[in-house]
Structure 1
Amino acid sequence: MKLLAVQKVLGLLLVVFSATMLPPLAVSLLYRDGATLAFLWAFATILAVGLLSWAPVARHQRELRLRDGFLVVALFWTVLGLGGALPLVFSSDPSLSITDAVFESMSGLTTTGATVITGLDDLAPSILYYRQQLQWLGGMGIVVLAVAVLPMLGVGGMQLYRAEIPGPMKDAKLTPRITETAKALWYIYLGLTVACALGYRLAGMSAFDAVGHAFSTVAIGGFSTHDASMGYFSSAAIEAVAVVFMLFSGANFALHFLAWRRRSPLVYWHDEEFRFYLGLMTLSAALVTTALAVSETYLDWGESLSKGVFQTVSIGTTAGFTTANYYTWPPFPAILLLLLSFVGGCAASTGGGIKVIRLLLLIKQGIREVQRLIHPNAQIPVRMGNRSVTHRVVDAVWGFFSLYVASFVLMYLALTATGLDLMTAFSAVAACINNLGPGLADVGPHYQSLPDAAKWILCLAMLLGRLEIFTLLVLFAPSFWRN
């Protein structure tokens, strides 16, 4: 383990992250909202810690290995969650405890969208902007952004990229060089953000709200500048823009890259994961809409359709925006949506959950086992599109799924030990490990009332979900630390 190289990279990444305090600082100065000192102190603290970590090992030139990349990513996201809490700790409005500030910061950076803050409509604009920016940075991963910069500083990036990018097939690069890959991802990400902001603005949002909601929409985050979330605007046009960009952001960003390079939207339809993704969303929206209409939750089919489609896409992609209090709906549509969040977005998207491609591979593997019972001697491959999937990938998916379930059960039990009722505990862990945000029962509207112990457990759940289990749990394997 090259700990000095890890320390160097971590220090550099913290220096980069300190610069993200400057945009909300500028917003605070523009609106004169009284939060300027909070961002100044946060900037100075994070920059100082970064420089103090980097300076002693600045001349160290050893290259990172894959194991070092896992350690850097896990440490960085942990430290980032703590550092991102500083403006909220230093701010007097909202007045948050350290636990609540870390929870809010971790929720933003992991694009979970669970919040402990109420009264958003009256909050300082710079704090509102900062929450949205946290999600935007976390959406694609600030580590991927740094990968495009670090090679210029003499630090290799492929190890960080492989540890950071979600999904079971992360060795496939969009371009031959990792720096170009990171840049390509961010150009797509930035382009979607700009297009989404323009769409919101044209649909009737203010410029401030349009930018803020574009940040959290493309990041599949769910933070809003209003307590009522998207329901605040009561606009079919705004909801339509949100649905389109949530669907786009929940898709594989490699597909966006290929569609742009080939100038053909048929790239999406030729991808089996994307077709399954759209089919699952369509079926779920139909079931939710029908359930709302039959139960007479809303007065007519039109309202049931608009509420059902929006909540299905938002919860299904793990964005977490709401136009209705879905946690007060009848049990069937509410539970269906919560279970849908376990699937989440496609691989290499900004969505959470186990990812569509893993579910598809699990289904195909299950079908293959049934066929083997009928034809014991047959050689039946698992295929995605026109390619056979290797046993290593299938085994990795099963391993991921088992660890996901085990982690969920352990944290569910831990939450019940803090005194939460079964539904609140179940939905809180589901909403956090899937990076969804809004849950059911007591965590439907917010997480403010939870005990501190429960919030720290849920911070771990968010981190596990964001780093997709393996990246974090691999650090607990004794063999990881052996030379």
Structure 2
Amino acid sequence: MQILSIIRIIGILVMCFSITMLVPALVALLYGDGGGKAFVQTFLISSIIGLSLWWPCHHHKEELRSRDGFLIVVAFWLVLGGIGAIPFMLFEKPNLSFSSAIFESFSGLTTTGATVVKNLDTLPKAILFYRQFLQWLGGMGLIVLAVAIIPLLGIGGAQLYRAESSGPLKEQKLRPRIAEVAKLLWVLYFSLTILCALSYWLAGMSVFDAIGHSFSTVSNGGFSTHDASISYFNSATIYTITTLFMLIAGVNFSLHISALSHLGKQSIWRNYWRDPEFRFFLSVQVSFILLFSFSLYFYDVVEYLDTALIQGALQLTSMSMTAGYTIFDINDLPAFAAMLLVIASLIGGCGGSTTGGLKTIRVLILWLQVKRELRSLVHPNLVQPIKLGNTILPIRMLESIWAFLMVFILVYWGCVFGVILCGMSAFDAMGAVFATLTNAGPGLGAVHNDFFNVPESAKIVLTFAMICGRLETFSLLVLFTPTFWKS
């Protein structure tokens, strides 16, 4: 293992991240309501940390192997979350403890959207902007950004991209060079953010709210600059814009790029519809939105059907894309509607998107396996390979998906027992871990609005769950295997 090269790269990444602290510092200067000092101090601290890691090892540029990439990604996310917590601890308002600051930082970077901060409407603009900005940076993945803009990473970029990216088909590439793929992803991500911000502004949001909510919408993070979340605006137009951009960000970004690259040659809709995952994703979302919206209307939660469709689409999409925006208190919803939200957040969006959950592609492949087993009961001697479109899926991929599902369940229950030991009730623990492991944000029980009253030690366990969800478990747990550390 190339330890010195790994330390060098982590140092570079930390120094790059330190520069982002100057953006909220500029916001503090612009609005003049405090906070600039905390971000400048964090910039200096993180720059020193990054420089201290990079300088002693700056001559070591050995080629990275696959396991080196996993270690860099996990180490960087841990260091990044720790540095990201510094401003929260330096601010007098909100006055967060160490564990609360760590929780809030990782919640933003992993785009979970769970929060321990109250009274958002009274906080300085700089800290509000910072929370939104953290989600935007974490949405596409800082490693992907680094691979796109830092040529110093060289050939190691492929290993980092593979370790940080999501979904079982992440080995597929649009271009022969990983750096080129990463650049295309970030150009698209940035363009969607600008388009979303303009749409919000034209719909009536202030410039500050439009930019902040575009960050959390395109990243499917769910933080808001107001305590009432997106319902603060009480606008059908804003609700529709939010739903649309969450769904766009929930589609595989590689598919977006592929469709745009064929623009003019054939129908853009045809490019999307040819993808089996997209067809399954769209069918699930439309079905769930209709079921949830009609349940709001027939259970008299919402008086008018058109209002139920608009608000239902927003709430269901927010949970399904694991965004975290809320306009309903989940605890007050009918049991049928609440369980639809839970199932939707478990499925999540497409692989290669900014969403969490199991990912639609895995659920689709599992469903295809179930169908094959049912056919095998009728025709036991028939050889039936599982096909995704025209592609026969290898056995290794099927095995990895079942392994992921089993590890997901084991991590879930392990974290549940850990949170119970920290003092939470069993039901609240299950709701809190589910919300963090799927990166959904809102949960059932005591965490239906926020995580303010969660025990301090439990916040650390839930932070671990968020990291597992963001890195899809294996990238983190592989570090705990003896095989990983053998030369």
Q: For residue 365 of structure 1, what is the amino acid of its counterpart?
A: Q
Aligned to 1:463: 467
User: 12-21 or 324-333, which moves further after superposition?
Assistant: 324-333
Amino acid at match of 1:136: W
Matched with 1:447 is 451
- Partner AA of 1:64 in structure 2: L
Structure-2 residue corresponding to 1:399: 403
TM-score, normalising length from structure 2? 0.97
Distance in 1 (alpha carbons) for counterparts of 2:403 and 2:374: 20
**Which deviates further from its counterpart, 129-138 or 372-381?**
372-381
Whether the 8 Å CA contact 1:9–1:155 is kept in 2: the answer is no
Query: For residue 150 of structure 1, what is the aligned residue in structure 2?
Result: 150
Corresponding residue pairs, total: 483
Partner Cα separation in structure 2 for residue 280 and residue 255 of structure 1: 18
Answer yes or no: is the 8 Å Cα contact 1:108–1:132 preserved in 2.
yes
1:15 aligned partner: 15
Contact 1:150/1:156, CA 8 A, preserved across alignment: no
Amino acid at match of 2:82: L
- Counterpart of 1:350 in 2: which secondary structure? coil
* Paired AA for residue 452 in structure 2: Q
Aligned partners of 1:241 and 1:331: how far apart in 2? Answer: 28
CA distance in 2, matches of 1:384, 1:202: 41
For 1:162, give the aligned amino acid: R
Which runs of no fewer than 5 residues in structure 2 stay unpaired?
A: none
Q: CA RMSD in A?
A: 1.1
SS of the residue corresponding to residue 156 of structure 1 reads helix
Tell me how far apart the structure 2 counterparts of residues 450 and 152 of structure 1 sit (CA, whole Å). 42
Distance (whole Å) between structure 2 residues aligned to residue 82 and residue 193 of structure 1: 26
The answer as to 2:213 corresponding to 1:209 is no
For structure 1, the residue ranges without an aligned partner over 5 or more in a row are none
- Counterparts of 1:40-439 in structure 2, within 5 Å, are 40-152=40-152, 154=154, 156-263=156-263, 264-439=268-443
CA contact (8 A) 1:115 1:447 kept: yes
- Higher mean C-alpha displacement, 322-331 vs 237-246: 322-331
Q: Kindly provide the amino acid, as one letter, of the partner of residue 246 in structure 1.
A: M
- Tell me the CA shift for residue 467 of structure 1: 0.1
Query: Does the aligned pair in 2 maintain the 1:427–1:440 contact within 8 Å?
Result: yes
1:152 shift after superposition: 4.0
Q: Would the aligned equivalents of 1:150 and 1:157 in 2 still touch at CA under 8 Å?
A: no
In structure 2, distance between residues paired with 1:301 and 1:180: 46
Q: Distance in 1 between matches of 2:220 and 2:388?
A: 26
Equivalent-residue separation in structure 2 for 1:288 and 1:314 (angstroms): 12
SS where residue 176 of structure 2 aligns?
Answer: coil
Contact 1:315 1:337 in 2 (8 A): yes
Contact 2:185 2:253 in 1 (8 A): yes
Q: Secondary structure at the match of 1:296?
A: coil
Q: Does the residue aligned with 1:243 lie in a helix, a strand or coil?
A: helix
Residues 134-176 of structure 1: per-residue CA shift (max 9 Å, x gap): 0000000001100123324656311100101100011111111
C-alpha contact 2:65 2:156 (8 A) present in aligned 1? no
- Kindly state the Cα deviation for residue 287 of structure 1 after the two structures are TM-superposed: 1.6
Q: Is the 1:121–1:225 contact (alpha carbons within 8 Å) kept by the matching residues of 2? A: yes
Amino acid at match of 2:106: M
Q: Distance in 1 between matches of 2:331 and 2:192?
A: 30
- Please give the alpha-carbon distance, in whole angstroms, between the structure 1 residues aligned to 2:287 and 2:169: 27
- 296-305 or 378-387, larger mean C-alpha shift: 296-305
Question: 1:177 and 1:333, CA in 2 relative to 1: closer, same or farther beyond 3 A?
Answer: same
Distance (whole Å) between structure 1 residues aligned to residue 377 and residue 95 of structure 2 = 61
Distance between the aligned counterparts of 1:293 and 1:373, measured in 2? 41
- What letter matches 2:127 in structure 1? I
For the residues of structure 1 that align with 2:147 and 2:350, how far apart are their CA atoms?
22
| Inter-partner Cα distance in structure 2 for 1:406 and 1:321 | 28
In structure 2, the residue corresponding to 1:319 is in which secondary structure? coil
Amino acid at match of 1:470: F
CA distance in 2, matches of 1:155, 1:459: 31
> Which residue identity does 1:307 align to in structure 2?
Q
2:202 and 2:149 mapped to 1: Cα distance?
34
Distance across 1 between alignment mates of 2:381 and 2:215: 53
Q: Percent identity?
A: 47
CA deviation map 1:111-151 (0-9, x unaligned): 00000001111110000000000000000000110012332
Q: 8 Å contact 1:74–1:471 — kept in the other structure?
A: yes
Query: How has the CA–CA distance of structure 1 residues 401 and 412 changed in structure 2, closer, same or farther, with 3 Å as cutoff?
Result: same
